[in-house]
Amino acid sequence: MNFSDLNLITPLLSAVEDSGYTEPTPIQVSTIPLVLSGRDVLGCAQTGTGKTAAFALPILQRLHQEPLNLQKDEKLPIRALILTPTRELALQIYESFETYGANIAITTAAVFGGVSQNPQVQKLKKGVDILVATPGRLNDLIGQGHISLKKLSIFVLDEADRMLDMGFIHDVRRVISHLPRKRQTLFFSATMPDEVEKLAMTILHEPETVKVDPPASTVESIRQLVYLVDKVNKKKLLPWVLNQPEVTSALVFTRTKHGADRVVRELSREGVKALAIHGDKSQGARQEALTRFKSGDIKVLIATDIAARGIDIAELSHVINYELPDESENYVHRIGRTGRAGLEGDAISFCCYDEFDALRAIEKLIGLDLPVVESPWPMEVFTSTKDPDAREHRADRPRSSSRGHSGRGRGSGSGDNRRRNADASAKGKNKPAKGENASAPTQKKPGSRNASSNQA
Ligand code: AMP
């Protein structure tokens, strides 16, 4: 299949060619004709598989071909709105519209918080066809009378499940209350929990559902592995992983903003330069950190989940989960920052005893048992750090005697099994659980290009 088979007009085909794309991805093949025909779409496809172009190209074409019938001196009305959860993603999607629309006279603007609204308002005053926005700033500007969405014809929710969850749903509902009832609505995400899909269906009108891959599945080009490691040893494990020659760039996720700053400090003590990106940083600092990371100026970026979704970083070699996410869906989005556009990538997760439940939930969501690999700091604390009796349960023996505990290597079983094995190991029993590979697993280097994966 070629882009020219999708009924796209020549200026868009040229822009696609200039972007270096030779053929459309599956989500583009399925979605572009539907959007061109005016249908509502619920689109699910894995991270990094070209969802942005799947909606941007047909939107640009529809707006380009739609007659405008403007009165004399009437300002260009906003005809398409794309809502996204983060400022960085808004900017990135805006840039994609600029790229794909380079050869047609369609104007795009982005509005998001954390920066002065004045330049955004100035641009809106001149009139724009397409607006990419985060919900908070958009509602502010609507409230101030700078934005009218009365003539809107296409509405897109990117990262739709995130936009419809508790954190955003009220803002999104407010935005929707300003939209014409008759419009085309498009929802996209790589993850779509059932209850969110039900909610989405109440907003969409007779949608066509496109699910290119099972929702929440991870792309095969991402090699995934887990290190079982005590919480206190994560700060030793991280620089060790980062110093492996395969790690050319790494996006490291922490659960909290404080955690992100702490990891930057800890790495600095080890001589590893890193910057952090999180919600307490100014937008200028966020943007600068991301730009320097994208350009290769810094090799390591420490992030909270604000960088988990959508952000496209060319040739990112490693995603590292210093802490597992609270919401399993975010694991899929985090690791999806690598292995994009058909490239390979590695996703390494650090899991301490307190995180076994999170690990099990992730494995259930993605339908895979993640391979566990031994590091120089194997787990020695087999009880919750929240447990006041933790010290009594501590395995008080040299590190070597804890080797072989928890089913390292390929197909090591579920988080449940690992916890059982870890407990057994703490008591000096190293027998693998039933159904588990009893042979000594080979130790893999972190980030090893041939690290085992049981995705098949
Ligand atoms: P997205 O999922 O929209 O963030 O896109 C992921 C990456 O794939 C981006 O770097 C896009 O530039 C790239 N991309 C999108 N469509 C194609 C295509 N048809 N062929 C090759 N790369 C693409």
* Per-residue confidence in pLDDT tens, the chain, 456 aa: 999 999 999 999 999 999 999 999 999 999 999 999 999 999 999 999 999 999 999 999 999 999 888 888 889 999 999 999 999 999 999 999 999 999 999 999 999 999 999 999 999 999 999 999 999 999 999 999 999 999 999 999 999 999 999 899 999 999 999 999 999 999 999 999 999 999 999 999 999 999 998 889 999 999 999 999 999 999 999 999 999 999 999 999 999 999 999 999 999 999 999 999 999 999 999 999 999 999 999 999 999 999 999 999 999 999 999 999 999 999 999 999 999 998 999 999 999 999 999 999 999 999 999 999 999 999 987 777 665 554 444 443 333 333 333 333 333 444 555 554 554 444 333 322 323 332 222 233 333 333 333 222
- Residue 71 has a pLDDT of 86
- 339 dihedral zone (left: phi>0; alpha: psi -120 to 50; beta): left
How far is 454 from 456, CA to CA, in rounded Å? 6
Residue among 445, 415, 260 at smallest CA distance from 353: 415
Q: How far is the CA of 406 from the centre of ligand 1 (A)?
A: 39
Q: What is the DSSP letter of 303?
A: E
Q: Which atom of ligand 1 is nearest to the CA of 47?
A: 2
Expressed in angstroms and rounded, the spacing between residue 50 Cα and the centre of ligand 1 is 4
Between helices 257-269 and 234-242, what is the axis angle to 10°? 60
The answer to whether 28 and 53 have CB atoms below 8 angstroms apart is yes
Q: Bridge-partner residues for 277, per DSSP? A: 303
Using most ligand atoms within 8 A of CB, pick from 49, 95, 99 the residue to mutate for ligand 1.
Answer: 49
pLDDT of residue 58: 98
CA of 341 to the centre of ligand 1 (A): 5
Which atom, in ligand 1's list, is nearest to the CA of 96?
A: 12
How many angstroms does the Cα of residue 11 sit away from the middle of ligand 1?
18
Q: In angstroms, what is the span from residue 21 Cα to ligand 1's centroid?
A: 8
The amino acid that residue 72 corresponds to is K
Say if residues 152 and 184 touch (Cβ distance below 8 Å). no
Q: How far is the CA of 162 from the centre of ligand 1 (A)?
A: 21
What span, in angstroms and rounded, lies between the C-alpha atoms of 35 and 31? 6
Ligand 1 mean position to 447 CA, how many Å? 24
Instruction: Find, among 449, 365, 359, 366, the residue nearest to 412 by Cα.
Output: 359
Q: How far is C-alpha 223 from the chain's CA centre?
A: 16
Q: Which of 25, 159, 218 to mutate to test the pocket of ligand 1 (most atoms within 8 A of CB)?
A: 25
Atom of ligand 1 nearest to the CA of 314: 10
Query: What single string gives the DSSP state of each residue in 306-373?
Result: GGTSS---TT--EEEESS--SSHHHHHHHHTTSS-TT--EEEEEEE-GGGHHHHHHHHHHHT-PPPB-
* Closest residue CA from atom 15 of ligand 1: 50
Question: From the alpha carbon of 19, which atom of ligand 1 is closest?
Answer: 12
Question: What residues flank ligand 1, with Cβ below 6 Å?
Answer: 21, 24-25, 28, 48-53, 312, 340-341
The alpha carbon of 311 and the centre of ligand 1 are apart by a number of angstroms equal to 12
Collapsing DSSP states into helix, strand and coil, what is residue 74? Answer: coil
Q: What's the whole-model pTM score?
A: 0.86
Q: Which atom of ligand 1 is nearest to the CA of 3?
A: 19
Contact between residue 103 and residue 15 where contact means Cβ atoms under 8 Å apart = yes
Residue of 5, 12, 18, 19 to test ligand 1 pocket, by largest number of atoms within 8 Å of CB: 19
Report the separation in Å between the CA atom of 53 and the middle of ligand 1, taken as the mean of its atom positions.
7
CA dihedral of residues 379, 380, 384, 388 (deg, nearest 10): -160
pLDDT of residue 417: 53
Measured in Å, residue 416 CA sits from the centre of ligand 1 at: 37
Nearest CA owner, ligand 1 atom 16: 50
Of the candidates 110, 104, 146, 96, the residue with the CA atom closest to the CA atom of residue 125: 146
CA of 344 to the centre of ligand 1 (A): 14
Contact 207, 43 (CB under 8 A): no
Q: How far apart are CA 402 and CA 435, in angstroms?
A: 21
Atom of ligand 1 nearest to the CA of 51: 3
Per-residue pLDDT at 381: 78
**Residue of the nearest CA to atom 1 in ligand 1?**
50
Torsion of CA 359, 360, 361, 364, to 10 degrees: 120
- How far apart CA 404 and CA 191 sit, in angstroms, is 35
Cα-to-centroid distance, 13 and ligand 1 (Å): 15
Q: Which strands make up the sheet holding 108-111, listed edge to edge?
A: 108-111, 130-133, 80-83, 154-158, 184-189, 41-44, 208-211
- Dist. CA 145–CA 22, nearest whole Å: 43
Residue whose CA is closest, atom 19 of ligand 1? 24
